[in-house]
Amino acid sequence: MSERTTPDRGRAPIHKGPPARPGGGTAPHRPAGTGGPSRPSRPSGGSRTRSNNGHAQRTTERRTATVKEKVTGPVTIPPQIIVKDLAELLDVTPNEIIRQLIKQSVFASINQVVEYEKASQVATDLGFEPTQSEVAAATGARKTLSASEAQQASRDDQGMVITPPVVTIMGHVDHGKTSLLDTIRKTKVAAGEAGGITQHIGAYQVEVNDKKITFLDTPGHEAFTAMRARGAQVAHVAIIVVAADDGVMPQTREAIDHARAAKMPLIIALNKIDRPNANPDRVKQQLVENDVLIEEFGGDIICVPISAKKGEGIDELLDYILLVAELQDLKANPNVPATGVIIEAKLEKSSGPSATVLVQQGTLKMGDTIVVGPIAGKVRAMFNDRGKRVQKAPPSTPVSILGLPEVPQAGDRLEVVVDDKTARQNAQTEQERRRQENTHLGQVSLDTLYTQMQEGTVKELNVVLKSDVQGSAEAIKGSLSKLGEDNLKVRLIHEGIGNVSETDVHLASASGAIVIAFNVKADGAAQREAQKEHVDIRYYNVIYKLIDDIQAALTGMLEPEYREVIGGHAEVMQTFKAGRNTIIAGCRITDGRIMRSSQARVLRKKDKVYEGKVDSLRRGKDDVREVLTGYECGIILEDFTAIEVGDIIEAFAQERVMPGA
C-alpha cells in the first residue's frame, strides 16, 4: 500500500483511502497498488503522543484530510433549493456556489432559494450531470442524516419508495366537482370508517386495490394556481370535470389552461352521462377544438364517462388515476426530514392556528420542530383526514397540525429542522427575504424580456390574452403564433373574453407570463394583485401595435415610454440663508402636494431657471415626507441657491405609459 502525500513542503505522508462518494459507493479505484483503507489510518511510527512532534503530525493529518478528490457525476436537484443545501449536495463551499451564481447575474445569499434552472447551470459548470427531481430539498437535514448521507440520498434512489399520487379536481361551476369528490369519499373510505369523517382538512386519502390516492378538496383552479404562484407544486394529476349535458364552458377552458401551465397530465371526467340530454360526442368534439385530443380520437388524454350522482364509472376513473401515476413513477424518501406544502389554514376558536400540510418528502412526526414560511413552531398534535390523532405522516399524506403561533398562508412550505434555534433563524431569514424582495422570482415583463433571454433565464414568452370579442382573440392568437425564433417562442397559455381578473393574474404569476388586455380593462382586485406579484399587464386597442411591441421585445428593441405627471406647485414667499451654501425657500403650497425627493423645477415669470430635485422638506423644525395644499413649508433644492421671492416650484414625476392606455 503506497502513501499519499500532500503537495506542501515536506509534510509527513499519511495513509488515506478513497473518499466516499455522496452518490453511493466510493470514488473510482486508482491503479493497482494505490488503494487505501476506507478511512485514514495513523501515520507509521506508533501511536500519537502529546509531544510537539505528535501535535504537528496530527495537524498535518487534519490538513491533509481536507484534500479530497473532486466528486462529479449525476446529481438530482429539486425544483427549488437553498444555496447552502446546494453546496452540501455538490460537495463544495457555499462561497463557490455564490461565485457561480454571480456569473449568471444572480446575487444570492447563503439562505436564499434558487430555481432549478440556475442550480442546474451551477452543477453543470462544476462538472456534474444534473436532473430535476419531483420533490423539494429539505433544510435542516442534519437532524437524521449526515452531509454525506444526505448527498447519497439525493444522488441515487436508495431509500426511495413509491408514493400515492396527489390529484386535484377542476372544472366549470355546477359540472359536478363536489359531487365527484363526495362520491369517491363515501364509497372508498376504509371499511368500518364510513361516516367517521368528522373533520374537513382540505384533502383526504382513499384506498383502491391496496393503493392510496390523495385528493385535494380545493375550491377550484383559482386556489390551486394561487398556491402554485407561491412556488407550491402540489398535485401530480389533474382531473377536468366536464358535464355531458353542458359541454366545454369558459371555466373548463381556464381549468385546462391552468393544468397545462402546471405541466400536469390530464384526465377528462365526462360527468352526468345519465342525463336524458347528455351528448358525449358533442363534448368530445369541443375538447378537440380546445386542443384536448382524447385517446378515442388518436390522442393521449384519457376520457372517462362517469355519473357522480349514481356512482357509475368511478372505479374506472380511479384505475386510470393509478395508471397515470404509475407512468410518472412517483417516488419520495420517507427517511429524511419532512418537507411539505400548506394546503389550507385557519384559526380555530378552541385550539388556535390549525394548518393542513401535504407531506411531500420525508416523514412528519409528532414533536418535530418546523418552519412554515416565516413562522417557526413545533408539531403539538396531528390529525388525519378522518379526525383521528396520528403520530407520523409519510409522503403524499395530508394531515392537520397544531403548534404554530400564527396562521400560515396556503402554499407556504413546511420544513423540519434540527432545533428551535435553527427554526427561528430560518423563519427570520424568510421573513426578511419576503420583506426585501422587490421583484417576483422568475417574473417576466416585456421591458426586461430581451435581457432575460440573453441571460438564458427565459426560453419562451408566456402570454395570457384577454380580449373583448372572440374574433379579436382569434386574430391575435394567429399573429402571436408567427412570432419568435428557435431560441425564444411565444406561448399562449390562456385566452378569454372579458376584463382581466384576479385569476388571470394568478395564472400569469405562477407561469411567469405577461397579460395582454385587448380593448378590455383590469378590475381593481386584478390591478392590486398584479402590483403585488409584479405581473406585467399590457393594454392595447390596435392589433398591429400589440404585435410590434412583442416583436420589439423579442429583439431587444422595445423602449419604455414615459409621461410627465405634475404633482403640485409652491410659491416662494421668503428666503433664508442657512450656512454658506444653503438657501431655504419659505413656501406656501398653492395646489397639489410637494414630496421630499420628488423631481422639481423652478419657474420665474414662466421661464424655467432650474430643474433637479427636492433635497429637504420641513415644517417648522421637523422633516416631513410631504406637504399638502394650503400649508407652508421650507424647501431646499439640490445644488441650487439662486432662488428668489415670487418663484414657483413645480414638483413632477416621470410615469411609464402602458401601451394602449
Could you list the residues known to form a binding site for GTP, using ranges: 171-178, 217-221, 271-274
Helical pair 250-261 and 502-511, crossing angle rounded to 10 deg: 20
- Chain-centre distance for alpha carbon 260: 17
For residue 407, the one-letter residue type is V
Beta strand pairing status for 413-417 and 375-378? unpaired
d(CA 630, CA 590): 6
Beta strand pairing status for 331-332 and 161-162? antiparallel
Burial of 372 (0-12, 13-18, 19+ CB in 10 A): buried
Answer positive or negative: Cα dihedral of 623, 625, 631, 632. Answer: positive
Q: Which of 15, 244, 286 is nearest to 6 (CA)?
A: 15
Q: Kindly report the CA angle at 266 between 498 and 536, in degrees rounded to 5?
A: 35
Do 167 and 321 touch, CB atoms closer than 8 A?
yes
Q: Which of 247, 262, 264, 301 is nearest to 494 (CA)?
A: 262
Answer positive or negative: Cα dihedral of 268, 272, 274, 280. Answer: negative
Do 522 and 544 touch, CB atoms closer than 8 A?
no
Q: Hey, what's the cell of 232?
A: 407550491
Q: Which of 242, 301, 317, 296 is nearest to 273 (CA)?
A: 242
For residue 610, the one-letter residue type is Y
Helix, strand, coil tally for the chain in percent (to 5)? 30, 30, 40
Residue 637, beta-bridge partner list? 614
Do 395 and 362 touch, CB atoms closer than 8 A?
yes
Phi-psi region of 91 (alpha: psi -120 to 50; beta: other; left: phi over 0): left
The binding site consists of 171-178, 217-221, 271-274
Phi-psi region of 419 (alpha: psi -120 to 50; beta: other; left: phi over 0): beta
- In the block, which residue shows the cell 373574453? 497
Q: Which of 375, 365, 372, 353 is nearest to 397 (CA)?
A: 365
d(CA 550, CA 620): 52
